[in-house]
Amino acid sequence: MTEIKTEHVWPFERTSPLDPPPVFAELRATCPVSKVSTWNGREAWLLTRYADIRAVLADPGISSDLTIEGFPEPTPTVAAARGGQKNFARMDPPKHDEHRRMLAPDFKIHHVAELRGYLNELVDGLLDRMEELGGPLDLVDMLAQPVPSSVICQILDLPTERSDFFQDRVKTWMSFDNPPTVASQANQDILDYFSEVVDERFDEPGDDLISRMITNQVKAGNLGKDELLHILQLLLVGGFDTTANMIALGTLTLLNHPDQLALLRDDPSLVNSAVEELLRYLSVAHQVAFRLATDDIDLGAQCIHAGDGVIAPIAAANRDPEVFADPDKFDITRDARRHVAFGFGLHQCLGQPLARIELQVVFSKLFVRFPHLRLAGNPDDLAFRNSIIYGVAELPVIW
Amino acid sequence: MHISVAAERCIGSGNCVELAPRYFDQRDLDGVVEVLVSDVDASDESAVAEAADICPVSAILLGAGGAAQ
């Protein structure tokens, strides 16, 4: 088999802000499994087809352990940031499975559904505040960030006054524009804070996820305190920017497609379908799904060998014309449910039911409350985030 | 259509519960899948097939037979 090595270097440039880099479509059509270089000169396989990305992410011969020599990372800052993470997202079975199952009950579909009442009140309150203040204002600051940060504070029973601290530390940890030492320090700040909280609750547990983990796992000897801190860091970074950026970019996408927005307004029952399509279309987790093969994987025309790095971009999978007809078209009536915006395989996002319900509540209310919502200022001035999770720094709106 | 599951693979994503709540639930202990009804009504076959396809770890196994009409 001839290995195809391209001249491409990850990460790739986008040419339009809400579409993935055009290199994905080009390679998918000509050379769907190829080798690219990464920042340190190392090569990695780049997958571009939905079928290959799903197959590889679910293959038992794939590792997420970034301590293994040769593990690919998008940039040196991310390598440092992720190097500070010692949670089950960076582990393989059996330890991965043990840890994930400790959290899974808190993210059960039926359990998360119980948050709907809280979410309705939360979003109504945030929209009330927007209405009182009047436009123009920044949707990121007034809605997109407060929704997931309030939810995380609710689930972990953290004081909402701490929200700004978290948002700042997570943003710093995620940004590609910071040097590696800054990202590492942000991570340490988060771990230090959680250490204080765990100490406080050790002898006086409450009725929250952290207290349950202390009582059921740490005190039972299943989990070390340090391991718990790293798990909490994962919940924080997993649940903030991801959902916040989806709210902001989702709003922008709907504003950019007034025909789709009109469909949603005329038929509010389309909200769940709209959310799935937004997840597919935006694929905000655009620098995830880096893996290392620990076994050979045969993809037909090419073979991934043990020890090879692999990049399996969800954005490429989600725009594959073999799966999604006219994939670059934003269409809230299509059945987008097969998307892999939350990933695939055993590391698929733990928080996906929570993300879904947050987005469903926001998008069922935002345009009802503000039917004439539009962008304030020049759309060309929007600053898209150079970060592990794609987003926009501010979204000025008026109504 | 008959449902069985390889529960040891399950990561508790809940996708199956969302798509076919009549047929799937999650254990309290660890969020792992429980099959509520293993024989699929003809009208539900498409939803259950989608649940099996979408399962991130291919834990849902569909076999022929046993369908209640």
According to CATH, the superfamily of the domain at A5-398 is: Cytochrome P450 (1.10.630.10)
Chain B residue closest to A96 (CA)?
A: B11
Judged by CB atoms closer than 8 Å, whether chains meet at A353 and B28 is answered as no
CA–CA dist B14, B33 (Å, integer)? 8
Q: What is the pLDDT of residue A238?
A: 87
Tens of pLDDT, residues A272-325? 999 999 999 999 998 888 999 999 999 988 999 999 999 999 999 999 999 999
Q: Chain B: nearest CA to A92, how far in angstroms? A: 13
Judged by CB atoms closer than 8 Å, whether chains meet at A348 and B11 is answered as yes
Amino acid (one-letter) located at B19? L
Tens of pLDDT, residues A112-158? 999 999 999 999 999 999 999 999 999 999 999 999 989 998 999 98
Mutate to test the interface with B, among A57, A107, A109, A222 (most CBs of B within 10 A): A109
CA–CA dist A212, B29 (Å, integer)? 12
Judged by CB atoms closer than 8 Å, whether chains meet at A108 and B19 is answered as no
Q: Chain B: nearest CA to A95, how far in angstroms? A: 13
Chain B residue closest to A352 (CA)?
A: B13
- CA proximity to A184, closest of A82, A67, A89: A82
Amino acid (one-letter) located at A354? L
ipTM, 2 dp: 0.93
pLDDT band at B66 (very low <50, low <70, confident <90, very high): low
CA–CA dist A256, A362 (Å, integer)? 18
Tens of pLDDT, residues A101-112? 999 999 999 999
Task: State how beta strands A5-9 and A33-37 pair.
Answer: parallel
pLDDT band at B69 (very low <50, low <70, confident <90, very high): very low
- Provide, as residue numbers in chain A, all residues whose Cβ is less than 8 Å from the Cβ of B15: 352
Amino acid (one-letter) located at A109? I
CB atoms inside a 10 Å sphere around CB A289: 24
Q: What is the pLDDT of residue A313?
A: 96
* Contact partners, residue A69, CB within 8 Å, separation at least 6: none
Judged by CB atoms closer than 8 Å, whether chains meet at A109 and B18 is answered as yes
Angle among Cα A394, A396, A398 to the nearest 5 degrees reads 160
Chain B residue closest to A345 (CA)?
A: B56
Structural domain B2-63, CATH architecture: 2-Layer Sandwich (3.30)
Q: Name the phi and psi angles at A293, rounded to 5.
A: -75, 135
Sign of the torsion formed by the C-alpha atoms of A197, A201, A203 and A204: positive
Interface of B with A (CB under 8 A): 9, 11-15, 17-19, 21, 25-26, 28-32, 50, 53-54, 56-58
Mutate to test the interface with A, among B9, B10, B11 (most CBs of A within 10 A): B11
Judged by CB atoms closer than 8 Å, whether chains meet at B53 and A338 is answered as yes
Judged by CB atoms closer than 8 Å, whether chains meet at B56 and A345 is answered as yes
Mutate to test the interface with A, among B10, B13, B34 (most CBs of A within 10 A): B13
Q: Which of B19, B31, B53 sits opposite A107 (nearest CB)?
A: B31
Tens of pLDDT, residues A166-218? 778 877 877 777 787 888 888 889 899 999 999 999 989 998 999 999 999 99
Q: What is the residue whose two structure tokens read 């590391």? A: A347
Q: Which residue has the higher pLDDT, A320 or A8?
A: A320
Indicate the Cα dihedral angle A275, A276, A281, A285, nearest 10°: 90
Cβ pair A284, A342 in contact under 8 A:
no
CA–CA dist A380, A193 (Å, integer)? 38
